[in-house]
């Protein structure tokens, strides 16, 4: 998906979830983009939504209503758009979207705060490193860690730069 499609789809889905009363935040590379920090990936593969565990099934139903079907990796796909659903159970350590301090609204999209994104990337790096230790190094796993580390560094630099500006 290109950048403008990602922005449009994230806004449409965030607004739909707000109308349905489903607490959520967008996280991952799309949230980085919306914060103004360039993720290391040139292409966007999916829009990741973090939801409370008790509302995830409702989100799956809404996606099905809109013609999405489960693709590989358990994400929902339709016409080249992929939406991922995460909960605190599947992504331990991420803040609960029902907590108002977990997210902020940018361009009509509820996104994880910058500090929340940094924590999410740190947790992703830790998870990838544990997988490498447990299962052994594979080139694909190594590349994934490098991408996560690049994103983590970019987020930290972006935050530090903006905190330093008067």
* Cα separations in angstroms, 48 against 37, 102, 108, 163, 164: 16, 15, 16, 26, 30
Structural domains of the chain sorted by starting position, each given as residue range(s) with its CATH number in brackets: 3-164 (3.30.460)
Whose structure tokens read 């190594």?
142
Q: Which residues contact 101 (CB under 8 A, 6 or more apart)?
A: 95, 113
Q: Which residues does 110 contact at the CB level (< 8 Å), separation at least 6?
A: 14, 17, 18, 24, 25, 26, 97, 103, 104
Determine the pLDDT at residue 120: 87
Q: Please report the pLDDT score of residue 42 as a whole number.
A: 58
Q: Which long-range contacts (CB under 8 A, 24 or more apart) does 119-128 make?
A: 119/93, 119/94, 119/95, 120/27, 120/28, 120/91, 120/93, 120/94, 121/148, 121/151, 121/152, 121/155, 122/152, 123/91, 123/92, 123/93, 123/94, 124/148, 125/149, 125/152
**What are the pLDDT digits (tens) for 124-137?**
888 878 878 888 77
Structure-token pair, residue 163: 């905190």
DSSP H helices, 95-138, are 114-135
Local confidence pLDDT in tens for the 166 residues of the chain:
788 888 899 999 999 999 999 999 999 889 999 998 877 665 677 899 999 999 999 999 999 999 999 987 889 999 888 999 999 887 777 887 877 678 899 999 999 999 988 988 888 888 878 878 888 777 666 777 788 888 888 888 888 888 765 5
The CA-based angle 64-48-77, given to 5 degrees, is 35
What pLDDT shows up at residue 13? 94
Max intra-chain CA distance, the chain: 47
DSSP-derived secondary structure letter, 20: T
Judged on CB neighbours under 10 Å (0-12, 13-18, 19+), 151 is buried
pTM for the structure as a whole: 0.83
């Amino acid at each position: 998906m290109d950048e403008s499609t990602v922005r449009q789809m994230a806004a449409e889905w965030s607004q739909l979830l707000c109308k349905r009363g489903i607490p959520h935040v967008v996280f991952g590379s799309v949230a980085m983009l919306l914060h103004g920090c360039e993720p290391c990936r040139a292409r966007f593969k999916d829009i990741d939504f973090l939801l409370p565990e008790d509302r995830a099934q409702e989100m799956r139903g809404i996606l099905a209503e809109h013609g999405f079907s489960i693709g590989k990796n358990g994400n929902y796909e339709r016409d080249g758009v992929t939406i991922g659903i995460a909960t605190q159970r599947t992504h331990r350590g991420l803040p609960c979207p029902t907590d108002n301090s977990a997210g902020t609204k940018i361009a009509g999209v509820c996104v994880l705060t910058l500090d929340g994104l940094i924590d999410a990337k740190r947790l992703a790096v830790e998870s990838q490193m544990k997988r490498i230790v447990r299962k052994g190094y594979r080139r694909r796993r190594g590349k994934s860690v490098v991408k996560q580390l690049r994103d983590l560094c970019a987020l930290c630099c972006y935050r530090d730069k903006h905190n330093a500006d008067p």
